[in-house]
């Protein structure tokens, strides 16, 4: 087989890139290790920045998003049960975020791929990249007991932290930056209406809590937990009790309880690999960077990565210019590091750390109190939360 762009991974980064390239008439093939049902069923992010919403509209994929997505013009912070609102739309010139689960995004991307002839090869096992440092890279894989190969001009690794792409870059070329947080998030999904119209980020003396949602009838709640905590130690009743305590008496009293249908613990980590390009191999999304979910940046960074990369490929094939692909890594990383900084900062002011003493706690409280009383501080938070412009 022969194509111009081989895309490894059919998650958000890979599928957005495939649609962007198809729109420009650039041939691409997507290789995915699992099947569609598995990829579409993964419970992941649920908040889209304006950049991602606009991109779905540009690609003609936004009809269901516009009907079913929940547009949020603000968000809420809580300190020991005292709630205050940040009007993000007013502070950022009308920019908003939209609650629309990653599962729904993937459903839209896959349905449109079938209609538009975007080629996806499912259940591609033992994927390997050969010749990435030459002008003739080859991607190989096994499926149905047979070996296959795909010759291409470029390879884009959208295969996450455990995929083959990042591991293909020589160790003496790549630099890795990491911060592992000493706690996790215990999260549940339940078919109950959300407690508030917009998200609540709660800092409580017992730890962080987040009141979120996937729809007007489906709630997503999280509480900070020990990194070695076990899901089986948490009955629904225990979870609801702890959540309501951390949200505070007034908000907790309004929480609608119900049986959870998904419960899991997610570790928190910041990670960046540099560069995001090595010769004919490019990295995008989780293959290059991970952020804690506090700032809702994971999927949004994947979208901005491939928007930049698709523009670069369009210049390369349409104008014969390699300037875009030569500057892809630096341009993408400039945005990535700003999001990593925001996610780290937002995590630092909302979570309880194991080694925190009274001084650290008072600093946290002062920081949140400053945000409550300062419009410039609220504007800084809002600008980062709704997403910085794609430069």
Catalytic (active-site) positions = 72, 201, 293, 297, 385
- Give the distance from CA 348 to its chain's centroid: 19
* Cis bond before residue 275 (omega within 30° of 0): yes
- The pairing of strands 281-283 and 154-157 is parallel
Token digits of residue 276 = 């995001």
- Please check whether residue 10 is in contact with residue 65, taking contact to mean a CB–CB distance below 8 angstroms: no
Token digits of residue 378 = 């609220």
Token digits of residue 271 = 């990670």
Q: Order of strands across the sheet with 125-130?
A: 125-130, 138-143, 146-151
Q: C-alpha distances in angstroms, 241 versus 193, 222, 352?
A: 17, 12, 18
**What is the rounded CA–CA span in Å between residue 173 and residue 116?**
38
Closest CA to 248 of 79, 386, 69: 79
At 103, phi and psi to the nearest 5? -60, -40
**What is the rounded CA–CA span in Å between residue 94 and residue 372?**
20
Helix (H) or strand (E) holding 310: helix 298-319
- Residue 250: CB atoms within 10 A of its CB come to 11
DSSP assignment of 220-286: EEEEEE-TT--GGG--HHHHHHHHHHHH-HHHHTTPPP--EEEEEEEEEEEEEEE-SEETTEEE-GG
**What is the rounded CA–CA span in Å between residue 145 and residue 96?**
48
Helix (H) or strand (E) holding 381: helix 375-386
């Amino acid at each position: 087989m022969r194509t111009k762009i081989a895309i490894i991974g059919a998650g958000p980064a890979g599928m957005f890139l495939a649609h962007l390239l198809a729109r420009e008439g650039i041939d691409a093939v997507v290789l995915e290790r699992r099947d569609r049902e598995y990829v579409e069923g993964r419970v992941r992010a649920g908040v889209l920045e304006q950049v991602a919403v606009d991109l779905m509209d540009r690609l003609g994929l936004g009809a269901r998003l516009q009907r079913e997505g929940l547009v949020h013009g603000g968000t809420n912070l809580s300190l020991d049960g005292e709630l205050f609102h940040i009007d993000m739309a007013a502070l950022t010139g009308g920019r908003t975020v939209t609650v629309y689960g990653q599962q729904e995004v993937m459903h839209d991307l896959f349905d449109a791929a079938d209609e538009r002839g975007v080629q996806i090869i499912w259940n591609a096992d033992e994927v390997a990249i050969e010749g990435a440092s030459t002008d003739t890279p080859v991607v190989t894989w096994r499926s149905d007991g047979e070996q296959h190969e795909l010759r291409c001009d470029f390879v884009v690794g959208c295969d996450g932290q455990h995929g083959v792409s990042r591991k293909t870059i020589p160790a003496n070329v790549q630099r890795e930056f990491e911060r592992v947080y000493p706690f996790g998030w215990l999260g549940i999904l339940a078919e109950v209406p959300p407690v508030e119209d917009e998200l609540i980020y709660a800092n409580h003396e017992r730890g962080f809590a987040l009141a979120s949602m996937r729809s007007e009838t489906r709630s997503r709640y999280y509480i900070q937990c020990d990194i070695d905590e076990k899901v089986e130690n948490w009955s629904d009743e225990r979870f609801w009790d702890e959540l309501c305590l951390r949200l505070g008496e007034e908000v907790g009293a309004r929480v609608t309880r119900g049986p959870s249908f998904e419960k899991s613990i997610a570790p928190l980590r910041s990670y960046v690999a540099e560069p995001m390009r090595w010769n004919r191999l490019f990295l995008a999304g989780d293959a290059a960077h991970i952020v804690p979910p506090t700032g809702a940046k994971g999927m949004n960074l994947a979208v901005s990565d491939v928007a930049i990369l698709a523009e670069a490929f369009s210049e390369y094939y349409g104008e014969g210019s390699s300037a875009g692909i030569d500057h892809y890594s630096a341009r993408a990383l400039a945005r990535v590091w700003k999001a990593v900084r925001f996610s780290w900062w937002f995590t630092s002011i909302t979570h309880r750390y194991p080694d925190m003493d009274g001084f650290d706690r008072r600093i946290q409280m002062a920081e949140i109190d400053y945000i409550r009383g300062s419009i410039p501080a609220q504007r800084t938070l809002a600008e980062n939360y709704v997403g910085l412009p794609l430069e």
